[in-house]
Amino acid sequence: MKIPAPGLLMALLFAAMAAGGFYWWQQSVKPARPAADAPVPTTPASPPPASASTGPAIQYPIDAAKGDSGAPPAALPALAESDAYVASALADLLGREKVQTFLHLEGFARRVVATTDNLARDHAAPALWPVTPTPGRFATLDGGATAPSTTSISPDNSQRYTPFVLFVESVDTAQAVRLYARLYPLFQQAYEELGFPGRYFNDRLVGVIDLLLATPVQTGPLGVSLVEVKGPLPSVRPWVRYEFTDPALRSLSSGQKMLLRTGPVNHRRLNAKLMEIRRLVSGGQLAPAPGTSRP
């Protein structure tokens, strides 16, 4: 299990825009789904429409004009040619410096979709994250003289995530969801290309947010242990091979584990943002964007 830092909430924050800001904790010991491990494709397939009769009914529809003045939404570029358009839209929302600091823009829509889907699974492939790694190294504490054989996550480790959490909190959620709604056809096509024809990406997003919100906040020390890797060559980066010692925590999804690693304070703050996003992408009303009015 490698160790990322805040970043997946950005997957959510911009698929919901939910990345969820917690992901610079990679997991290296569990295999990923083939679709998630594959490189971001450059040539999209021609997926069937999301309303295909074989798919389930849509639970949480997204209006592409939600929050706008009522005018038809602007035409979007093709998914394979959307990077510049998406990058410009994100820079308008967040500022170019923050975008360049926190986000990985190449294939952004596909990265958001793949990472969001994987947050509910055992493994979230780092190669597909829509965010850049956080600086610093995962920190642990040994049990000292009283418990020399035990290891836990250092309380100081949560400080690595604080700049990203502050960044997430600074984002205007309503504006982010408006952008998500405007870009939604790109996310939907990427989701169908990932292997879910006839399924609705926003429904998956809401389900993933619900799973993350169900993650129990851990206020006590979190025990971890190094995963043994057999072979003749010693590991040069042993800190990426920690896993929780508690079987119940090991059984959580990749996104839930990432939340726990941010520390209880950051976990609660990210939960507050996730709840706000969840309300808006599942049917909550958005006020008109500044400078617009409804007819």
Q: Per residue in 7-45, pLDDT tens?
A: 455 566 655 433 333 332 333 233 333 333 333 433 333
The pLDDT value given to residue 293: 41
Q: Could you tell me which residue, 180 or 55, shows the higher pLDDT?
A: 180
288, part of any domain: no
52, part of any domain: no
Q: What proportion of the chain, given as a percentage, has pLDDT over 70? A: 65
The pLDDT value given to residue 23: 30
Integer Cα distance of 287 and 292 in angstroms: 10
The lowest-confidence range among 71-85, 141-155, 175-189 is: 141-155
Q: Is 19 helix (H, G, I), strand (E, B) or coil?
A: coil
293, part of any domain: no
The pLDDT value given to residue 99: 82
200, part of any domain: yes
164, part of any domain: yes
The pLDDT value given to residue 269: 94
Q: Is 130 helix (H, G, I), strand (E, B) or coil?
A: coil
Check whether 117 has a pLDDT greater than 70. yes
Angle (CA) 98 257 155, round 5°:
75
21, part of any domain: yes
174, part of any domain: yes
Comparing CA positions, the residue from 187, 221, 218, 215 lying closest to residue 15 is 187
Q: Could you tell me which residue, 189 or 7, shows the higher pLDDT?
A: 189
80, part of any domain: yes
Q: At which residue do the structure tokens 């790694």 appear?
A: 133
Number of domains the chain is built from: 1
Q: What is the mean pLDDT of residues 44-50?
A: 41
Give residue 234's pLDDT band: very low, low, confident or very high (50, 70, 90): low
Range of the domain at 190: 3-43+60-281
Are 11 and 169 spatial neighbours (Cβ–Cβ below 8 Å)? no
Q: Could you tell me which residue, 238 or 141, shows the higher pLDDT?
A: 141
